Structure 1
């Protein structure tokens, strides 16, 4: 019995596999990749700031917006990536030109770039989504791996665009003839316009049902959001509990110290007797959720002045947390001097809950939640 011939690119005649369709969806996907990459860079540099970069303390909610966009664009990229792969998968059955030529080499480079691009994007989106759930079933560090994969994706994307540039340019705009509706429909009955509407609708639906974790106005429909931002002690969620951090409470003889030109040692009661300030600032976490709060406490710059240091000093913040990547953090001088940056003692009108950092925590504008150090017991002025 004669075996059927293996499929070729011509075995998929649907108009939905036309380069014009792939180019249009590719534009949407590229926009999400660019937004996700740039906002991800901002988040990475917040936690690992190079010496040449100055990150401002204002706008106060800038990180809340950029990280919300980062997670949103990454989430929306998932249905777009699937749609893009569906439009181009018949190309996998195309035979490269033979004998070897410049065209054959370009085809090999193109397929290798697609392999790297798709693999890296799939892994990047997967571990990014798992990160929003705060589940880390892998042995490698998430942030560094996420950052490295982002550069691999950008490099593979640039190579892919360079190889496919003539085809992209030829299909960037809709040609006058034939019109999309005059072409034969897919087996499913979808036209190109119908496919575009379906993909756009799926991406929009995914976005609307997940963005509520950082946009409270959509919180009621955020069924895909792993976190509801207004649920938790004192109206804010908690990522790392006191129990997980190894903090069980404070002793009666607890003291807060500032190490500087003149060392300070203050009890909680003495901290509460210092001039108090209020800041309305959000906790904005790398997982994409954010929630505003009213914080009361002592300005960091006031504490620096009390110990004889400049209000524009760089400060190391030390937590009572037992280990962990964020048991210490640093406040660059622009954050330490900002009048909104507090050693917070109260949240939303009441004493800090233990899970929110009792007896004291840092709250500063335009900072990731992981750098808003909890259970603070020492500040060190860095010369």
Structure 2
């Protein structure tokens, strides 16, 4: 069976170079993915800083755009090594069986991560499990299998890479083609986060300049069932919980408070981001009206009745930051309904799912 695969591109040198590039890419995706996970679900002792403002925007952009650009690398790597799947005998020893099982886990985890990741950023949930949990735990399986595989194959790969074969032209062309494919995928996706490249972002599900007030939305007011309550003239913002005094503010009351403008990005977990000029009341000013202690944590609640992200926690580093606003307007106009009218949270260095829209209650813990 092995004799059927005659291309010289099915060799250890090509596989080693692709494996090195793929390994680096997976580790970068793992590290940036951990940033996203622990920003959304921090451990009890963790408090993320509010600065630098664009930290999450950069790390999540690298995670998603870099992950998509890795797909050609993964496919090329699998094509290069797949003749080994037809080795006979299939198992030669207990050690060989363990090695083949490890490779199976590595390949399966890699395919799972990249296939479900691409489906997630395309908003096509063809699976019934919760993507975030499955993606997070499978990442550990993938990286664990990768590290064991690297330790097992490193000596061979290093020896192969350091050797200079005489007939390297075909291999070099193949590797350059794979690199060009990855670069093209990155270029046609990066515009979802890099505004000057937006016109090239044909593979991006969201692009700057689209949506109400030139900012995309993932979830509309109609889809969440808040249209009537958000437009109700009786809407009030309430500050309650562990406060010196409860505060209730109408929309007119909020407009009467000192207004501030901040240029901040909306950065979504799917990788897209866009900066906007937000205008509203500083969250810390509203909390001080209620006599909130400086070390308190604040839960920001939406008018949404259901959903995993209908509320978000705001730790002291964020609510004390002067850039954190209860936004009432955006890009020089009143806040659009789909962007959270009458009031939404906008803060630096936070995932978009934690920039709660249609805010109606602040609960101090």
Q: TM-score range by the shorter chain?
A: over 0.9
Equivalent of residue 234 in structure 1, options 208, 213, 225: 213
> 1:14: Cα distance to partner?
2.5
Equivalent of residue 76 in structure 1, options 46, 69, 78: 69
* Matching of residues 1-383 of structure 1 within 5 Å: 7-8=1-2, 10-96=3-89, 104-173=93-162, 175-176=163-164, 178-181=165-168, 191-248=170-227, 249-259=230-240, 260-382=243-365
* 3-state SS of 2:231 partner: coil
Number of equivalenced pairs: 361
* 3-state SS of 1:15 partner: coil
Instruction: Give the TM-score, by structure 2 length.
Output: 0.95
1:180–1:193 CA contact under 8 A, matched in 2 = no
Write out the 4+ residue segments of structure 1 that deviate beyond 3 Å after TM superposition.
none
Cα distance in 1 between the residues matched to 2:89 and 2:151: 18
Q: For residues 167-192 of structure 1, give each alpha carbon's deviation from its aligned partner in whole angstroms, at most 9, with x where no partner exists.
A: 1232232x14x3343xxxxxxxx700
Cα distance in 1 between the residues matched to 2:153 and 2:273: 40
C-alpha distance 159-58 of structure 1, shift in aligned 2 (>3 A): same
Q: Which has the larger radius of gyration?
A: 1
Q: For residues 60-96 of structure 1, give each alpha carbon's deviation from its aligned partner in whole angstroms, at most 9, with x where no partner exists.
A: 0111111110001110111000100111111112235
* 3-state SS of 2:59 partner: helix
2:280–2:325 CA contact under 8 A, matched in 1 = yes
**Structure 2: gaps spanning 5 or more residues:** none
Cα distance in 2 between the residues matched to 1:264 and 1:198: 62
C-alpha distance 331-32 of structure 1, shift in aligned 2 (>3 A): same
* 3-state SS of 1:171 partner: helix
**Structure 1: gaps spanning 5 or more residues:** 1-6, 182-189
1:106–1:163 CA contact under 8 A, matched in 2 = no
Cα distance in 1 between the residues matched to 2:357 and 2:279: 14
1:341–1:364 CA contact under 8 A, matched in 2 = yes
Q: For residues 245-294 of structure 1, give each alpha carbon's deviation from its aligned partner in whole angstroms, at most 9, with x where no partner exists.
A: 11113322211111122100011001100011111000000011000000
* 3-state SS of 1:243 partner: helix
Q: Which segment is superposed worse, 78-87 or 13-22?
A: 13-22
Cα distance in 1 between the residues matched to 2:305 and 2:119: 25
RMSD: 1.5
